Chain A
Amino acid sequence: MSSTEGYTGDFPPGGGPDGGEAEASRAPHRVIGTPPPAEQRTLLGTSESDAPPAPPRELPADPDDLAGASRAEKIVAALFILAMLAGFGFIAAYIGLPLGASLDSVLRSNLALGISMGVAFMAMGVGAVIWVRRLMPDVELTEARKPLASPPEDREAFAETFREGAETSQFVKRPILRRSLIAATVPLLLAPLVLLRDLGPLPGTKLRHTVWRKGLRLVISDTGRPIRPADFGSPGGMITVIPEGYQTNDNALVKATAIIIKFEPGELKYPTNLKWTVDNIVAYSKICTHVGCPVALYEQTTHHILCPCHQSTFDATKGATVLFGPANRPLPQLPMGVDSEGYLVALSDFKVPVGPSFWERG
């Protein structure tokens, strides 16, 4: 960015060598720092009579390329008019494109509103940039930068005031006053923390248990249907099951959700607890032992259960032991049997806590 020629620099009176020598060569660079004289009075332009002559201007009034500026003015005006039209377009789209029952009508309205809004803002932005770059004269000013540290005398004066205040307040001299004040603030700082106590109940042993209990049926999570071992035609995919009667209880499902998988005879191996399986069907907790995502993916050919969040992988044939990933513990196996009507039921709650590790888990 180059400096513009053709106007007089305004240097503060008594500005030293900068003001004299450098003026000719660096006229456009005006050192701002000391205000020009008498600027107060002329500012509002009201008291003409007693005002000294106004200082010479610091910014040029017009750009060098006047013809170019006039062309640019037309372009800028066109852009601003485009912004205006787009703005009206936005209002028109709001009124004219009602939201119907279909997703299409919503997306159409979003497109029309967004594009008209975007075009309006972009036209304003482009117009303003052309305005600055083509219509305003290009200037470069230099402003002096003072060191941030205060002069020593200011610091000393401050220190004196501070000392005086400290002394006058008696705060330093009288230890009983000081210490009792500090003692008074301690409970006042603790009080807000105490207030937060009722944000929630204490954990107790809630994380150790789920709603599974002896005789509670496993039902398919989508349909709520109980399951008979005979319903499985052949070994296959993974089915998500939940305890019967808890379909709408998120707090219960977060821990109790389980998966069942049917295997070929002989596929299930140690450390799977075969006593808890029924007809080669095994049930595991669906809650990942890493940070608690539902382990939603199952690969039939390898019998791998995969958590989609952080890819902990569990071997479904071997008691859901960890094969890969950040999880440390196997998915707990749900003790499972059949009830008198032949439906799959839990024999008890999980024998170990499900889900992520926690301090008291042990």
Chain B
Amino acid sequence: MTSTNEAPAGAAGEGPVEKVLAGTGTFLDDRLHAAKSTRTLLKKVFPDHWTFLLGEIALYSFIILLLTGTFLTLFFKPSMTSLVYHGTYSRLDGVRMSEAYASTLNISFDVRGGLLMRQIHHWAADLFMAAIMAHMIRIFFTGAYRKPRELNWLIGITLFTLGMLEGLFGYSLPDDLLSGAGLRILEGVILGIPIVGTYISFFLFGGQFPGMDIIPRLYIIHVLLIPGLLLALITAHLFLMFHQKHTQMPGKGRTDKNVVGQPLYPYFMAKTGAFFFFVFGVLALLSALAQINPVWLYGPYNPVAMSAGSQPDFYMGMLEGALRIFPNWSWNLWGHTFAWNVLIPALVPLGLLFTGAALWPFLERWITGDQREHHVNDRPRNAATRTAIGIAVITWYGIMWLEGANDVIADHFQISLYTTTEIARYAVVIGPVIAYILTKRICLGLQRKDAATLLHGYETGIIQMRPNGEYVELHAPVPEEERAVLEARTTAPLPLEAGSDDDSGVPDPALRGPVGKLRLALNRVVTESVPLPVGNGHGTNGHGNGHGGNGHGSSVAGEPERAAVTSGEDGKTLLGRDSPEDPGEH
């Protein structure tokens, strides 16, 4: 668009770019009035960090799932009609099976590329869930869910839940031995639900398990209902990310009032396009080289058979582990069965995880009283309590997940099967506590190290003798870029006392009641951190209290501090927040 000025192509009408602009560009703009908005879009700046790719992996896995899934629907027959197989795969010749299983064999053995598409579809589903988990973990540890992004965090949790269901249902469609057993377990879990369990089960399966209806029903949910919801929610997720602009990692010149990165066009477009090819390429190579879900080896579903070492897909492993770990508690009261041994492991761990995750941003905001917008991500160490909670939850999840494969572990490591379960029963309670304490100590230690580095600089290893005979070690000052990262505590939680709702500095009377005392106690835990050295730390700490109107500014306003920070030509500093002439504001 600016090439009329400098580019060798010269005047309008020459060169392919000019032709596109004059032709297609004019045609579209005459009809859409889109020049201005599209230009803004093309110039949109995207921050860069390797962890920002995790969500993209999930997005591209989803697109690949849609493409390969559409291919599979052209050949798959979601029918439980029984038939006797006489197809290409001779080892199952003459075996009674459902039409769904037979058509899966057909896709694998008679449709060229069918096996590849099936394997890509399955690998992509696993990658989709793995990427969502990794993405969610990144968002949590960097505090990227904080205001104003709580809504996107909730959408993300919904996507995770829907993804699990979608995967479970897709896994059940081929009607092989393992998927049938998975459905059987699903039925057993549903039956355990008080009052309505048997009714839900009979309505879902169209009568007694397995019936004739479950696969056609799961099929339409799997190929239309849930993908439609996923597509809508992913669109909303991306739109919100776009509208609110992506967070950025702390660094020189990065503040809560700017976005530093590369523009959508041409940089981000090319990079993200490349990344799509990587994801697709890796999935294609995996599917060529690593077999996944070879349903022809399992055989068709057979209610009388089951094999050992059968694990669900990894994202259901936690549920499987919880079912294995939980003691066999059950009550018989008033003529009814309370099957705690099924109900609790099936509903409570995942329920706690998703509810806890959904409430956490709001709980944290209530505890800290932090009403500011946050666009610069936290370094995990700088939010010691949050990081410790995250690691504790991962430990808790991980132990149950491992227990989901305890028979494999017992087999490979020559441990008694029961011992693995006994260990897991204790570990699932004690492990998270230990993880919490350790992580918090490590985070605070790292904060202390950062503070020391900021105060004294790096140890150079050079010992110098002073004229008075004193030996000192020379310390090199921290480079500007690193200093910006170490000082990035802009987002550290405020102590609640200081952050009360008016500017008087007097603690809120609401904090005197029992709830207020609880809030204060939690606040002390959550805000526990090692202070940054005075003169450096406070400058950045106070910066950013934009919307709370809290009384914390008093420690910042001092001109000398500001000078101390800005003197380093630190582009970040207080400029963005304090200068009234910020162009973005007008």
Contact = CB atoms under 8 A, between A and B. Distances in A.
B257 A201 contact: no
Interface stretch (B130-138, B161-169, B305-313, B468-476): B305-313
B373 A148 contact: yes
Contacts of B380: none
9 residue pairs, one from A and one from B, having the closest CB atoms: A114-B288, A144-B584, A291-B188, A16-B581, A121-B281, A125-B277, A128-B274, A118-B285, A118-B284
Contacts of A326: 323-328, 341-342, 345
Nearest to A90: B113
24 contacts: A17-B581, A42-B4, A46-B12, A54-B5, A59-B263, A61-B7, A101-B90, A113-B112, A113-B113, A115-B289, A122-B277, A143-B44, A143-B259, A148-B373, A203-B198, A255-B208, A290-B342, A292-B187, A293-B184, A297-B308, A311-B417, A311-B418, A357-B192, A361-B336
A260 interface: no
A146 B584 contact: yes
Given A117-B288, A129-B274, A141-B263, 5 more contacts: A25-B569, A26-B571, A115-B288, A142-B258, A290-B341
B43 interface: yes
Interface in A298-333: 307-313, 322, 324-329
B339 A132 contact: no
Interface stretch (B265-273, B440-448, B450-458, B505-513): B265-273
B1 A12 contact: no
Nearest to B275: A125
Contact of A359 (B11, B45, B197, B288): B197
A94 B112 CA distance: 7
Contacts of B189: 291
Contact of A129 (B193, B271, B324): B271
A196 B185 contact: no
Contact of B21 (A45, A48, A124, A203): A45
Contact of A358 (B12, B40, B197, B278): B197
Q: For chain A, which range describes its interface: under 10, 10 to 19, 20 to 34, or 35 or more residues? A: 35 or more
Interface string A130-164: 01100010011111111111000000000000000
B281 A118 contact: yes
Contact of A141 (B257, B260, B336, B418): B260
Interface string B542-586: 000011000000000000000000000101000000010111111
Contacts, number: 384
B70 interface: no
Contacts of B257: 144-145
A54 B301 CA distance: 70
A307 to B, nearest CB: 8
A48 B282 CA distance: 48
Nearest to B17: A45
A187 interface: no
Contacts of A196: 203
B287 interface: yes
Contacts of B192: 291, 356-358
Nearest to B212: A251
A359 B194 contact: yes
Contacts of B275: 125
A325 B260 CA distance: 55
B18 interface: yes
Contacts of B282: 118, 122
Interface in A252-272: 253-255, 257
B124 to A, nearest CB: 13
A44 B432 CA distance: 61
Interface string B505-531: 000000000000000000000000000
B242 to A, nearest CB: 13
Interface string A48-72: 1000011111110100000000000
Interface stretch (A30-38, A170-178, A339-347): A30-38
Contact of B303 (A110, A113, A203, A257): A257
Interface stretch (B22-30, B228-236, B359-367): B22-30
Contacts of B373: 147-148
A242 interface: yes
Contacts of A128: 270-271, 273-274, 277
Nearest to A117: B284
Contacts of B112: 94, 97-99, 109, 113
B579 A17 contact: yes
B274 A125 contact: yes
B274 A132 contact: yes
Contacts of A94: 112-113
Contacts of A277: none
B199 interface: yes
Contacts of B215: none
B73 interface: no
Contacts of A75: none
Interface in A163-191: none
A255 B324 CA distance: 22
B2 A54 contact: yes
Contacts of B329: 328
A298 to B, nearest CB: 12
B477 interface: no
B342 A357 contact: yes
A45 B115 contact: no
Given A99-B109, A292-B184, A61 B6 contact: yes
A245 to B, nearest CB: 15
Contact of A296 (B22, B260, B305): B305
Contacts of A233: none
A45 B271 CA distance: 28
A18 interface: yes
B75 interface: no
Contacts of A358: 191-192, 197-198, 337, 339
Contact of B304 (A44, A46, A59, A242): A242
A362 B306 contact: no
Contacts of B256: 145
A323 to B, nearest CB: 9
Contacts of A132: 267, 270-271, 274
B244 interface: yes
Contacts of A231: none
A118 B116 CA distance: 11
Nearest to B263: A141
A311 to B, nearest CB: 6
Given A48-B11, A118-B282, A146-B584, A99 B110 contact: yes
